[in-house]
Amino acid sequence: MKKIILPILIAVASVLPMHAQNILVVDVAGVFNNLIEVKAQLQKINGTTESYRTYLNQQGQQLLDLQNKADALQKQADNTANLQDSRDAYRAQFNAAIADVNTKKAAIQSFYTQSQDLLNKSQQALVQTELDKIRAAVQDIALKRKATLVLNASPNLLMVDPVVYSDKASMDITDDVVKEHKDAATAAAPAMSAGTATSPAPTMTPTPTMAPAPGMTPPATTN
């Protein structure tokens, strides 16, 4: 945890005034995993997941039985020892069995997709609800302890930002930067004025006209 937080602490401490450096650290994932409500809800989700898995296993076994039935019918339909009428009847039964196989496959896939979506939404709702509670608790504690910043010791586990709480009013240095810039510009202005000498621009004399050399006729001007 210290390896993760230390660089952030150094960076933050370098820009905060000394009187404002009141930084706290919280392991959000550790808090989340130790909440009784979370454990109870996770048990329910795990129970639902197990029931879905059992159902899918049952449906998979039924699909296997249907496929075996279709394979047996196909063998009979392809068996030249059977009369043609029997082979045609087996072929019709085989086609019906294959239709049942495809229907079962589609039903299993649909159930799997919907069940996974439901489980994911349940987990996301649980995480979001409990994280909102944790953030509220962090804010209450930060205000009581007059903390400027509260950092997350485990930002990668629950996809929570590294900064859980910040006192933006005391940390925002925008106005200070603007003032510093204006002060620097004002101080530089007199120095620039004093060092700049004003002199009239040089007078440009007309370009002298070149006279043609003796014996040379200047070229005629074409209109």
Is the dihedral angle over the CA atoms 63, 67, 68, 69 positive or is it negative? positive
| Order of all β-strands in the sheet with 23-26 | 23-26, 149-152, 163-166
Residue count (the chain) = 223
Contacts 24+ apart (CB under 8 A), 91-99: 94/70, 97/66, 97/69, 97/70, 97/73, 98/70
What are residue 23's DSSP bridge partners?
A: 149
Residue extents of the structural domains in the chain? 2-168
What tens digit of pLDDT does each residue of 167-198 get? 887 777 888 889 888 888 888 776 555 555 55
pLDDT tens digit sequence for 64-89: 999 999 999 999 999 999 999 999 99
Q: What is the pLDDT of residue 195?
A: 54
The pLDDT value given to residue 12: 47
Residue 201 confidence (pLDDT) above 60: no
Query: 142-171 pLDDT, tens per residue?
Result: 999 999 999 999 888 877 889 999 988 777
Q: Identify the band that residue 4 occupies on the pLDDT scale cut at 50, 70 and 90.
A: very low
User: Strand pairing partners for 150?
Assistant: 24, 165
| Residue of 35 and 20 predicted with greater confidence | 35
